Amino acid sequence: MNREHTDVAVVGAGIVGCLVAREIVARAPEASVLLLDRDTVGAGASRRSAGLHCPRGATERVRRMTAYSQDYYAELKHNAPELPIHAVPMSVVASPVNASRVHEIYLDSAELTPVDPSEDRAGAPDLRLPEHARIWECRGAQYADVYALVRDLTRELRARVTLREGVHVDTMRAVGHTDPGREPDVGGVELALGTGETVTADRVVLAPGPWLAEPAWRESLAPLGARVKKIVALHVERVPTRTDRAVVFHDEDAFLLPLHASGHWLFSYTCTTWDVDPDDLAGGLSADDVDQARASLRRHAPALAEHRVSGRVFCDAYSPTGEPQVRALGDGRVVFAGAANGSGYRLAPAIAAEAADLLDLSSIPPHA
Ligand SMILES: Cc1cc2nc3c(=O)[nH]c(=O)nc-3n(C[C@H](O)[C@H](O)[C@H](O)COP(=O)(O)OP(=O)(O)OC[C@H]3O[C@@H](n4cnc5c(N)ncnc54)[C@H](O)[C@@H]3O)c2cc1C
């Protein structure tokens, strides 16, 4: 049986795992990094993501993570303008009772500017606004084709990390150190792969997206209390114009997003179906999904709700606190990074930075 050793193994090559690997090679260029995915890169929740970055956070930590991530993506785009990250003008709609909360959660840099609802400037077609609705224009929003972004970023990463796609991690267990070139005094983590190979790593980052219940880590993650919730978004077959804006309906945590790059609108609403298995969601939209989504869309933009139905269905991991979870597990050699509550694209850079902080990368010795 083949046995391989690496300084750090990152399990899961979605947007989170990809940015974790990127962060590690930036901080520790000498480190050997193995990035593993049971599928092709980006093919999990990242592939289905609406990819909206909205400059807000419900808590102080999430606002910090939002600001950090917004700057990170802006720099990425600045350095590589061809990346599929698109600035989008955005409006926020809320009932008057929620106006102060809106001001609390949006970043100062969003520069919320009130708009007179009678001017019909929310920016999307056929909107129905709640009575006395308040509207603000907001700066700093963007959306990405997250799948394409992950593939673009991994193309660059391939020169720096060992990327293994189609390789399932079957089991994970702590072992004594097995790197033949190192003193046998430090522990490691052994990953048994679906290919029959075994890899040992000094440190492991788990970035499994909604695959929290995989046998290899189900028990280790159970104390975190994260759960998996279904996410449904409708596609509205109407071509957005250049002046159309994303509209966030704060009261219902829903949004309309003009996907200029794909030529249609997307409507996301809050689905409340919990404890789903990502491997059971390949069947597409159910009649219930369509009913719920349409009912929500009718409240905001009735004309759009009558278009022929299409959309995307998947799921994401949610934490008990509403904040992403970045935690060292057990003796600290394994770090979990995820449970970002349907915001894993927009917070991924900050999640990756927090994960790298927990890895003690400075102790990795230079390799011969
Ligand atoms: C419909 C929808 C809309 C969304 N909209 C937004 C949005 O507008 N804005 C936003 O910020 N977020 C949004 N999200 C959430 C966001 O997409 C996710 O939070 C994010 O993609 C999670 O990234 P990840 O890398 O943690 O997980 P994933 O992309 O799921 O990656 C995890 C990877 O782990 C791999 N894996 C799992 N188990 C194993 C194993 N045993 N061995 C090896 N590999 C394994 C999987 O194959 C997968 O590729 C949305 C999600 C959905 C589903």
> Could you tell me the distance, in angstroms and rounded to a whole number, from the CA of residue 211 to the centre of ligand 1?
9
Residue 282 pLDDT? 85
* pLDDT at residue 366 is higher than 80: no
CA–CA gap between residue 91 and residue 89 (Å, rounded): 7
- In this structure, of 11-15, 60-64, 173-177, the range with the lowest mean pLDDT score is 173-177
> Which residue's CA is the closest to the ligand 1 atom numbered 34?
12
Residue 306 pLDDT? 86
Which atom of ligand 1 sits closest to the CA of residue 344? Answer: 19
Q: For the chain, what is the mean pLDDT?
A: 93
> Could you tell me the distance, in angstroms and rounded to a whole number, from the CA of residue 122 to the centre of ligand 1?
30
- Whether residue 273 contacts residue 229, with contact meaning beta carbons closer than 8 Å, is answered with yes
Residue 199 pLDDT? 97
Report the sign of the C-alpha dihedral through residues 357, 69, 275, 170, in that order.
negative
> Which residue's CA is the closest to the ligand 1 atom numbered 51?
49
What single DSSP character describes residue 130?
P
Give per-residue pLDDT as tens, 205-253. 999 999 999 999 999 999 999 999 999 999 999 999 988 999 999 999 9
Set out the domains of the chain in order of their start, with CATH numbers.
3-46+148-225+322-363 (3.50.50.60), 90-139+227-318 (3.30.9.10)
Give per-residue pLDDT as tens, 79-103. 999 999 999 999 999 999 999 999 9
CA–CA gap between residue 350 and residue 152 (Å, rounded): 19
Q: What does the buried/exposed string (b/e) look like for 144-170 if buried means 16 or more CB atoms within 10 Å of the residue's CB? A: bbbbbbbbbbbeebeebbbbbeebebb
- Whether residue 144 contacts residue 86, with contact meaning beta carbons closer than 8 Å, is answered with yes
Which atom of ligand 1 sits closest to the CA of residue 194? Answer: 42
Mutate to test the pocket of ligand 1, among 19, 39, 46 (most ligand atoms within 8 A of CB): 46
Residue 121 pLDDT? 58
- In this structure, of 90-104, 106-120, 163-177, the range with the lowest mean pLDDT score is 106-120
Instruction: Give the other-Cβ count within 10 Å of 219's Cβ.
Output: 8
CA distances from 15 to 46, 192, 205, 208 (A): 6, 23, 13, 10
Which residues have CB under 6 Å of ligand 1?
11-17, 36-39, 43-46, 48-52, 146, 168-169, 207-211, 214, 216, 231, 233, 312, 314, 316, 338, 340, 342-346
